[in-house]
Structure 1
Amino acid sequence: MNASLRVAGAVACAALVVAATVAGGSFLGLAAPLSGDAFESVAQEPAVGAERVESPYGHATVRYDEAGVPHVSAENEEALYYAVGYVQARDRLFQMDLQRRLVGGNLSAAFGERAVESDRFYRKMDFQAAAEASWAELRDTDAGPALEAYSAGVNRYIDAGERPPEFALLGYEPTRWEPTDTLLVGKLIAWRLSGNFADLRRATVRARLGPEATAELYPDAMAHDVPIVRGASDAAPFDPATAAGVAASAAANDSGSAAAGGANASGDFAAVYDAVAPFETKRVVGSNNWVLSGEATESGKPVLANDPHLSLTVPGVWYEMHTAVGESVDARGVTFPGIPFVIIGRTADVAWGVTNVGGDFTDEYTYETRDGQYLYDGEYRDFETTQETIPVADAPDVTVTVRKTVHGPVVERGGRTVGVAWPGFSATNESLGVYRLNRAESMADVRSALRIWDVPAQNFVAATRAGETLYYPAGRYPLRVTDGEVVRGDRIFDGSAGEGEWPGYTPYGTSSWSGFVPYASIPHVDDPAVLATANQRTVDDPPFYVGTSATYSEPYRGARIYEMLDARASDGATVADVLAVQRDVRSRAGVAYADIARDATGDLSPDARELAATLESWDGEMRADSRGALVARLFRDEFRAATFEDEFADAGLDAAYYPNPYVTQTLPADSRWFDDRETAATETRGDVAREALERTADRIDRRGYETYGDLNRLDLNHPFDREFLGWPERPMDGSAFTVSNFRGGEGEQFGSSWRMVVAFGETPAEDTARGVIPGGQSGVFWSDHYHDQLDEWAAGEYKPLTLSSPGGDPDIVFESGGAAA
């Protein structure tokens, strides 16, 4: 390809890189302006490696099964992870490279100036330094040699294997893979799941709508009775004040209190929030998991299920693999490309699954500043400042000033200087935790892994063949200290006054975690009979602040899962029952909003009357061929807009600030929010329902929708947005609020990114284990495994998830010899 084509490709591709990465969608959201002829200049052969590869670590074999899943077996762990690095690069190298570029702030070097804002954010947060701090902690642990061997395997493929075609089409080469790159990918995933700026959002709403309205629309807790832990927790009691060491903390920070006076931590943060909101956790990201003990199953053995809901991308976010070393490792499940260990999956005798806790793990701080310094602990201090250069393809390089305080990195917009604290900026051990899970033989091994789990805080469910079950929301929960008292974290803190300190936290260094919640005191349940998580709040009355309605998910999915599991457990749930729950598409949200529509007051147009009648007879199922599902989905959107748009527009707040659907649904019928300020009458919920039905009718007419599948469509495209590269498009069942989770159409593609069910038998041969990903194992678009699981996934089907390797000769043999790459 000539230079002009490379330049054109890089610039145009960059236009959508940023749009995708900052919108919480695919980090692969690139658009290729190249003609079909450009693809002909790239050798169209699968990106395969040699059948025999020298390994400095010893013998290993790889056998791909019929779904393209590598079964990797080795004589020792380093040989295993060398081979894993090689095959992941073989199947997903471009995706791996793009992820580390994104979080490391290096997209612009490949894609040009359109990616600069994304790079600027990630450079300012300095995830690279956080990854380096974690590596300094991990390299001398059991996981260290595995990460080094994995990196060497990736580099072996970079040196000897065929490049994925994207590199040639964009005109750049991948750089060497380092252990810190794996940890960077881990930081990216952790940030996507736990990094949010809800406090900035809440502070802006409070400044513009007032404290009373903020408390009403963004309550501490949503009014529902289905937390994850429905009974007593098995957490050890503790005193938050004692754990936080508040006496020492208060003494250290008293001198700063008078100087800033707290005033700097209030007010409007819209400019800062607008700058960082594109990079925070999205509410549409969620997951389900549950565990049933033998008491609740027909077989008398545990059953575990998990389906994480993430952005759906091409290639998919997960990579499935089976890894084995003698009797020490036998793990199968999925990982993120770039990470060598199974993150969700099973061993011979243990299974585990995760969902996001959804708590408040990010705090913001303001400062009194002068002459380039900030006030803290009674004195003005220099910001820790570095100048970094962002290389920009086909444009001048960009210099970025990275500033940090004692709390963490700094964001500056609209005259505000805001520091950010997040546990993941410190050295963290989740990679070692996953390493241990891959070797788990008992629940004691699971607990050993979770005890050191730092970030992101995750709802773990686990089960063993021996019959044990466990729920543990493992992670680091900060205790905030202000003036000698432990306080909530749902506000902007005055950093100059020493408010909201996290004792034991050291950003970009080694934290003691001394002022965080002790592991044993995190609410958990030992041996639950039935326990399910769907990102709803952990427990009704936690002994410490965890989060609010702004960070937890609505209870719709959690309530529906418990409803179905309780009914089935009473007679002994079967594997078929569990699969049916995972594929359920009844929407509690849809039914609730249909009830609101039935109460519409006043005259309706003929079209709106027809929609009301449709909802009256609708069965509550979000199925592609249902008109009722279409009306329910759109009515909910229009009802929220008709309720809040006048007040929020007057306050300069757009739809991104609207309260969540559950809070909106549960407002009293005569709530002041239903009144239209532009009329003399006082409107109620029924009036807004009428207006929303009319708007829904107009929207359906304008868009030409007939059934839900016209809107809710799977439409996933390759990074180079060419029709022949995209996956087959189709209408889909499910919604954001159904257990079988899919939300598509009008720019959205979110859903179940992996579905897994593991039911233990008396022996491994009697296990029932199934899984499926949306798409395929390979990121190379002419591979047989590019999207060969998509039909199964879309239809709610599964493939076997056994620990048996395919027979026959290996596809790749790693032989002793050579040096680490």
Structure 2
Amino acid sequence: MRFWRNLSCVLLLLLCSALSYEYWLCYRAQTPVNGKTRLPGLQRPVEVIRDAIGVAHIFAQNFDDAIFAQGYVTAQDRLWQMDLLRRSGYGELSEVFGARALEMDKEQRLLGFKRVVMRQERNLSPEDLHCLQCYADGVNAFLQLHRDRLPIEFHILRYQPSAWLPRDTLVLNLWIGKLLSTSWDIDLMRELIYKKLPRQLAEQLLVEFSPNDVLVVGSDSSERPMSRLGAFPVGSLENPFLGGEKASAFGVGPPVRDNPPLHPSSGGECAFSPLVVPPQGGMENGLVDSLEITELRRLLAPYTPGEQKESMGSNNWVVAGWRTAGGMPILANDPHLARGAPSLWHMAHLNVPGILNVIGVAIPGVPGIILGHNENIAWGATNLAPDVQDLYIEKIHPQDQNRYRLNDSWQEMEQHQEIISIKGQKPEVLRIRSTRHGPVFRELEGRVLALRWSLLEESISLPIASNLNTAGNWQEFRLAMEKYSGPVQNFVYADRRGNIGFLNAGKIPVRARGDGSVPVPGQTDDYEWTGYIPFDELPRSFNPASGLIVTANNRIAGKSYPHFLTHQWASPHRAHRIQHVLETKSRLKVADMLQIQGDVYSSANEMISRILLEALGRRREVPSRDARTVAIEEIQRQLENWDSLARTDSVGTTICEEFRQTFLEEILKDQLGEDWKAYQWFNKSTLVENLLQTRNPEFLPKKYSSYDSFILACLQETSQRLKDRYKTAEPKQWLWGDYLPVEFRHPLGQFWPLTKLFNTGPVPQPGTPLTVKQTSSRVGVSMRMVIDFADLDQSVNNITLGESGLVFSRHYRDQFDDWLKVQSYPMLFTRAKIEQQRRSTLLLVP
């Protein structure tokens, strides 16, 4: 007995010692934020003031030192996250995580991000390369000085980070672009649906338009069909807020004499060549080489319907001064991205007297400010998600798998090998082949699929536009955005002169034939890209008469817009709600914008609730065994007393959300059979709403005699699903906050006992995928920012968790509670306000 007692004591002592050592490592990783630190590479001293939430306000005497210091403090806060992001881009996760990351690495190696950024690095201008090098020097200065005090993740995974290189910043842009613009799987899904269904039914499943669409440019009044868009008249509406400036064809723009975005023809129309979009999907491909249903099923097999296809998104808007309490524009932005720990965004402030004074957020590893404001302008972004990826079906030589057909000859593929290091295993060798269109992405019998993607063809691909941070007016903003080379975004703009604006920036291809929405033959030049939409012909608006601009991944261009952007838009519910609230309120303030960002009114579910109550009211007329169960009676009472707000204690939200999914699944199973799981569409909510309201008989499953009986059967199934999910038959216990609890998971948080240490949550959260405060299990608000030009110090910003990625830092998750409550923190801009909130000062000296 004494032996076992002693052994237990020894084991307990060893455990305590191990935990104490790990605690010491975590604590030691917090490098000094006070005092003086000497850094070779600096030219002049730099002062870094940290405020109450740990934001670094960097005061430098020249631009190079400011960027150097930003690299240093970002590494101080997020070094392991920076290394994780670049490994994700390069496809080097298996080296530290082992075989569990191998498939992710293989896809990254197929895309060839490392080869792309090495080419792009050579194409950088001397100024851009110098900026990236200054940032890298700052990161490496931290690494060299504190290599013995690395974040705990390096110790757990037992590896050391390599030096940061300029190309590492470039690969982050490609990684972000992949998150925001991947659409090749949607192309395969569209082709499958067009092959299985008559075109008329397929187009209703792949719905593009809604009566609630909030357009920023153009209109839907044109009688030209969407498949054959021509040019459209130049507007001539006088803008009373610009002293006689006229409306451009894309919205109200600068004076035509100063910077005409279009050149009118003598007939009073834009000098665009008419855009001809041929029939899409299998209708056209039936005449040429296309994929068989069995091939499509195999290609889509790894992909199941996911909420991210509907819930990934963002909100931004800007209002003119005549709508605000302060008489100056207010701009708001809240990007919605996949959740994780640490936060994706890092807050920073860079100040160089007379040269640079900019504050906002950046992605760790990227110099400058991606979203924010300087002394003169502010900007925010949402994802446009245009179609910038095409799949080409390449014919392979029957005797040589490395040759493919091109017109009347056979061409050699480009080939190289990638060696993937795997922790604990032998390296894996991956053979990569590429055609003229891009990497061979998938193998077929006698054919391959090659992926063409605009970001892979960029000569330079920076995540932030050169000169954006120092732009002082609309013209300089436009010039900066013309050089932007990241994923295509909806940028909103405001400035201290009272102007507001909107523009798209990034590369969107123009095709010789087709629109890239389904795989196309690659052996001829028929479907080649002929260029990109010129920057001055991308959607744009400046000082619209309405005094407000709203985007939320919704359809922003009307049918009169002459270029193809995409078929897949997000549901208009968020944009429509934001627009409605802004139009109905006056004397808007920062607090009003925060309230809108936290809005959980669900117009989509309000409609579903009404339809359900109508069907329940007629249930005695509907033959159904289950129409009068106790649970259904209680569901009816819950819906009758529901206010359409998706709060955590809401039962009505739970019922409507589950019903929507049940109803959609039954429709898809009836139409697509075994392939129903392949369906994924951003705007699937509009499909559900259209069918519930129009009751199209072509979509009514054959086993039901009416839509009422179908709706009641789906409601009964909803009841059973919720009973199983919540482990109770009492509907009043089906609280929405328990349906999609929010949790921020660290890559190491899946392993006990690290879960509680690294992860945050789960906790109940309000909102749905279609409310302004967008919510899902994996995606949600990543940052909230509101900028008021009446007093820039009253602007606010809040990220999800905190500034630091060091788990024992007080700033690791100190913002989480306020993020959950939709509360925020001042974006301290003037020196006086910063001094009031000063918590530490680090002097960096040469």
Partner of 1:147: 132
Aligned AA (2:141): R
> 1:243 and 1:171, CA in 2 relative to 1: closer, same or farther beyond 3 A?
farther
Letter in 1 for 2:143: I
Counterparts of 1:413 and 1:523, CA distance in 2? 38
Name which one, 1 or 2, has greater alpha-carbon Rg: 2
Aligned-partner Cα distance in 2 for 1:427–1:657: 28
Displacement after TM superposition at 1:207 (Å): 2.3
Alpha-carbon distance in structure 2 between the residues aligned to 1:53 and 1:389: 40
Summarize the Cα distance change of 1:610–1:238 in structure 2 as closer, same or farther, 3 Å threshold: farther
Q: Distance in 2 between matches of 1:540 and 1:693?
A: 36
Query: Is 1:554 matched with 2:576?
Result: no
Match of 1:636 among 660, 664, 675: 660
Amino acid at match of 1:790: F
Write the distance in 2 (CA, Å) between the matches of 1:477 and 1:152: 34
Aligned to 2:823: 797
TM-score normalised per structure 2:
0.83
Secondary structure of the corresponding residue to residue 584 of structure 2: helix
* 1:782 is the counterpart of 2:808: yes
Structure 1 counterpart SS, 2:337: strand
SS at match of 2:79: helix
User: What is residue 297 of structure 1 aligned with on the other side?
Assistant: 324
For normalisation by structure 1, the TM-score amounts to: 0.85
Residues 101/469 of structure 1: CA separation in 2 closer, same or farther (3 Å cut): same
Aligned residue in 2 for 1:759:
788
Whole-Å separation in 2 of the counterparts to 1:699 and 1:449: 52
Q: What residue identity is the alignment partner of 1:155?
A: N
* Pair 1:85–1:130, CA change in 2 (3 A): same
Q: Within 5 Å, give how 1:338-353 maps onto structure 2.
A: 338-353=365-380
Tell me the secondary structure at the aligned position of residue 140 of structure 2: helix
- Opposite residue 337 of structure 2, the aligned amino acid is L
Residue 331 (1) aligns with residue 358 (2)? yes
Deviates more, 1:698-707 or 1:226-235: 226-235
Q: Which of 692, 696, 700 is the matching residue for 1:675?
A: 700
Distance 2:676 2:214 in 1: 35
**Contact 1:624/1:712 (CA < 8 Å) preserved in 2?**
no
Q: Deviations over 1:29-72 (max 9, x none)?
A: xxxxx999765443231523454031313222211111011111
Name whichever of 52-61 and 732-741 sits farther off. Answer: 52-61
Alpha carbons 2:309, 2:682 under 8 Å: kept: no
**Change in 2 beyond 3 A, CA 1:204/1:655:** closer
**For residues 257-310 of structure 1, what are the alpha-carbon distances to aligned partners after superposition, in whole Å with 9 as ceiling and x for unaligned?**
xx9972236755233344588999843210000011123223221110000001
Looking at structure 1, the residues matched to 271 and 712 of structure 2 have their Cα atoms a distance apart, in angstroms, of 55
Percent of aligned positions that are identical: 28
Residue 809 of structure 1 deviates from its aligned partner by 8.9
Cα deviation 1:469-500 (Å, max 9, x = unaligned): 11001121211013xxxx42322221112232
State the Cα deviation string for residues 742-773 of structure 1 (Å, max 9, x = none).
22xxxx23211100111112xx5x65201111
Query: SS at the partner of 1:757?
Result: strand
Moved over 6 A (4+): 34-37, 238-247, 276-281
Alignment pair present for 1:166 and 2:196: no
In the alignment, which residue of structure 2 is the partner of 1:251? Answer: none
**Deviation readout 1:198-239 (Å, 9 max, x if unpaired):** 211101222233434322211354454422337652452689
* 1:394 maps to 2:424: yes
Seen in structure 2, the aligned counterparts of structure 1 residues 341 and 35 have a Cα distance that, compared at 3 Å, is: farther
2:365 alignment partner, SS class? coil
Q: Is 1:377 aligned to residue 404 of structure 2?
A: no
Paired residue secondary structure (2:663) = helix
Pick one of 613, 628, 650 that aligns with 1:598.
613
- Indicate yes or no: 2:538 matched with 1:517: no
Deviation at 1:75, TM superposition (A): 1.7
- CA 1:99–1:243 in 2, change beyond 3 Å: closer, same or farther? farther
Alignment-derived partner of residue 296 in structure 2? 269
Aligned partner of 1:611 in structure 2 is: 635
8 Å CA contact 2:216, 2:541 repeated in 1: no
SS of residue matched to 1:579:
helix
Distance 2:20 2:678 in 1: 46
Deviates more, 1:297-306 or 1:783-792: 297-306
Q: Distance in 1 between matches of 2:630 and 2:264?
A: 62
Q: What SS does the corresponding residue of 2:57 show, helix, strand or coil?
A: strand
In structure 1, distance between residues paired with 2:725 and 2:15: 31
User: Where does 1:9-28 land on structure 2 (aligned, <5 Å)?
Assistant: none
Deviations 1:763-812 (A, max 9, x none): x5x65201111110111111000100111111111100121354369633
- Are 2:769 and 1:736 aligned? yes
Q: Provide the C-alpha distance between the structure 2 equivalents of 1:699 and 1:433, rounded to a whole number of angstroms.
A: 46
**Cα separation, partners in 2 of 1:756 and 1:665, compared to 1, 3 Å:** same
Give the corresponding residue for 1:695.
Answer: 717
1:458 to 489, 507, 528: 489
Task: Give me the whole-angstrom Cα distance separating, in 2, the residues matched to 1:574 and 1:69.
Answer: 24
Q: Does 1:94 align with 2:80?
A: yes
Q: Map 1:170-249 onto structure 2 (within 5 A).
A: 170-197=157-184, 198-229=186-217, 233-234=250-251, 235-236=261-262
Find the partner of 2:742 among 692, 696, 714: 714
CA distance in 2, matches of 1:165, 1:755: 29
Structure 1 Cα separation of the partners of residues 82 and 305 of structure 2: 22
- Are 1:103 and 1:188, in contact at CA under 8 Å, matched by a contact in 2? yes
Stretches of structure 2 lacking an aligned partner (at least 5 in a row): 1-13, 220-248, 252-260, 277-284, 727-732, 750-754
State how many pairs are aligned.
743
Q: Supply the distance in 1 between the matched residues of 2:218 and 2:486 (Cα, whole angstroms).
A: 25
Q: Any gaps of 5 or more consecutive residues in structure 1?
A: 1-33, 248-258, 504-514, 817-821
**Distance in 1 between residues matched to 2:600 and 2:818, nearest whole Å:** 17
Q: 2:593 matched to 1:578? A: yes
Do the aligned partners of 1:260 and 1:497 also contact (CA within 8 Å) in 2? no
- 1:381 Cα deviation from its structure 2 partner: 0.5
SS in 2 for 1:434: coil
Where 2:512 maps in the other structure, the secondary structure is strand
Greater shift in the superposed pair: 377-386 or 781-790: 377-386
Alpha carbons of structure 1 residues 439 and 595: separation in structure 2 relative to 1, 3 Å:
same
* 8 A Cα contact 1:290 1:531, kept in partner: yes
Which residue of structure 2 lines up, in the alignment, with residue 48 of structure 1? 30
